[in-house]
């Protein structure tokens, strides 16, 4: 038995078990942006940018890490949701997604059937003129299912809280370096977290092969590089 973990840019995942379909940060593909990542005024990205990458199953659970439009997009969430889909997001996503969502903050936990979701900190500690991700505005998620833990870091730098996450089987770590940690920080974060497998996300113009080489040279962590729409299969005990 395996859990499917499928990636779409920048940080969008489908996680599929035998009984549940979960999406994290369903937004739109980088190919739908003309100037991304140069265009950094999130509020000016046109709402008409739209389109799912393929025919995707409806969700049982949707998790959103923060309110930026490459992670939090109402039209995509609506296309993937059923009337009974649970949508979980930080408070700043209410404006985009509506008041019906389940609001979550760092440190809070919820249970969805036999799936446990814990929100953890995700924020910037380095910046030039503007802090893109302030502490408390966004979250990362630790999802426990089928006896395994999957950590989606959200948009974040390498922060002290990552050293205390506990046992992580799969880590989904940003490496892009513009709004998040860069490759070197992501390497240090991965070594501190000690997952069994890490999948780089929010790649932007970074070289994921450089990340893979540096991580695997310094640790026993396996780095999986996924193409758009490609899946990693996490083996679990039935």
Domain total for the chain? 1
pLDDT of residue 24: 97
Cα→Cα distances 142→63, 166, 221, Å:
11, 10, 18
pLDDT of residue 1: 74
**Model confidence pLDDT, tens digit, residues 88-145:** 999 989 988 988 899 999 999 999 999 999 999 999 887 544 567 677 789 999 999 9
Range of the structural domain that residue 161 is part of: 2-235
> What CATH number does the domain containing 72 carry?
3.60.15.10
Strand residue runs (E) in the chain: 2-8, 12-16, 21-24, 59-63, 81-89, 102-103, 109-112, 115-122, 138-145, 148-152, 170-174, 197-201, 222-223, 231-235
Instruction: Report H helices in 63-150.
Output: 74-80, 94-97
Per-residue pLDDT reduced to its tens digit, 151-186 = 999 999 999 999 999 999 999 999 988 888 999 999
Buried b (16+ CB within 10 A) or exposed e, 2-30: ebebbbbbbbbbbbbbeebbbbbbbbbbe
Measured CA to CA, the distance from residue 190 to residue 49 in angstroms comes to 33
Mean pLDDT value across residues 192-218: 94
What pLDDT score does 48 carry?
Answer: 43
- Cα 99 to Cα 158: distance, rounded to the nearest angstrom: 31
Four-residue CA torsion sign, 114, 235, 223, 14: negative
């Amino acid at each position: 038995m395996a859990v499917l973990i499928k990636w779409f840019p920048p940080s969008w995942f489908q996680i599929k078990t035998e009984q549940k379909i979960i999406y994290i940060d369903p937004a739109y593909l980088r190919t739908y942006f003309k100037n991304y990542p140069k265009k950094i005024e999130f509020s000016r990205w046109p709402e008409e940018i739209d389109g799912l990458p393929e025919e995707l199953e409806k969700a049982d659970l949707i998790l959103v890490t923060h309110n930026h439009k490459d992670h939090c997009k109402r039209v995509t969430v609506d296309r993937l949701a059923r009337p009974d889909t649970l949508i979980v997001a930080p408070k700043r996503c209410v404006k985009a997604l509506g008041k019906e969502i389940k609001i979550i903050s760092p440190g809070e936990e919820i249970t969805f059937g036999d799936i446990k979701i814990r929100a953890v900190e995700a924020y910037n500690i380095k910046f030039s003129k503007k802090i893109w991700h302030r502490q408390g505005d966004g979250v990362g998620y630790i999802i426990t299912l089928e006896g395994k833990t999957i950590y989606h870091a959200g948009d974040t730098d390498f922060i002290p809280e990552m050293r205390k996450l506990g046992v992580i089987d799969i880590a989904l770590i940003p490496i892009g370096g513009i709004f998040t940690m860069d490759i070197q920080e992501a390497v240090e974060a991965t070594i501190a977290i000690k997952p069994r497998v890490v999948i780089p996300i929010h790649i932007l113009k970074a070289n994921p092969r450089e990340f893979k080489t540096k991580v695997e040279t310094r640790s026993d962590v396996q780095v999986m590089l996924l193409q758009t729409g490609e899946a990693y299969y996490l083996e679990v005990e039935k």
